[in-house]
């Protein structure tokens, strides 16, 4: 396995848990979203540095696979990996880990869009290369 682009630690908050005392499934998408912004910060300094170049990312598809439940106060780490860099799309995989255990995998397909038109575009080569 390759090294992740970023590792984002987080602690499960009480309000993220459902009546079964586990993290409600939709919160894993929020965790992936938070980690994607940490990734942009790590690679480019900030999300604003990317949008200043006239491009942004929007989620086109999300897939989740749950391996084990996470609960209130669990310490998690969300790792971000590049799965595929296309001409106008990007696929990132997020591994949510509790210690050495894989809890959840999220795979998001993003489309690069123009900040002016919100239509798909090809980002500058150096931005694409940063994910390679």
CA distance 64 to 49: 29
Can you give the pLDDT at residue 2?
86
Contact 113, 105 (CB under 8 A): no
| DSSP class of 68 | S
Residue 52 in tokens:
């200043």
Taking the CA atoms of the chain, what radius of gyration do you get in angstroms?
15
CA distance 109 to 13: 27
Residues 72-126 pLDDT 10s? 999 999 999 999 999 999 999 999 999 999 999 999 999 999 999 999 999 999 9
Can you give the pLDDT at residue 27?
98
Average pLDDT over residues 26-38: 98
**What whole-number percentage of the chain has pLDDT above 90?**
98
Q: Domain coordinates of the chain in residue numbers?
A: 6-130
**What whole-number percentage of the chain has pLDDT above 70?**
99
What separation, in Å, do the N-terminal and C-terminal C-alpha atoms of the chain show?
Answer: 14
Can you give the pLDDT at residue 1?
54
Task: Write out the CATH class of domain 6-130.
Answer: alpha beta
Can you give the pLDDT at residue 92?
98
Residue 110 in tokens:
């993003």
Contact 59, 109 (CB under 8 A): yes
């Amino acid at each position: 396995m390759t090294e992740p682009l970023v590792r984002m630690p987080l602690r499960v908050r009480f309000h993220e848990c459902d009546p079964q005392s586990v993290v409600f499934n939709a919160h894993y998408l929020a965790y992936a979203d938070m980690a994607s912004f940490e990734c942009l910060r790590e690679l480019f300094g900030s999300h604003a540095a990317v949008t200043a170049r006239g491009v942004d990312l929007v989620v086109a598809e999300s897939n989740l696979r749950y391996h084990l439940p996470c609960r209130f106060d669990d310490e998690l780490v969300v790792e971000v990996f590049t799965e595929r860099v296309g001409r106008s799309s990007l696929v990132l995989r997020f591994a949510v880990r509790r210690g050495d255990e894989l809890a959840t995998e999220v795979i998001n397909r993003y489309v690069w869009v123009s900040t002016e038109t919100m239509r798909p575009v090809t980002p500058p080569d150096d931005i694409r290369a940063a994910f390679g």
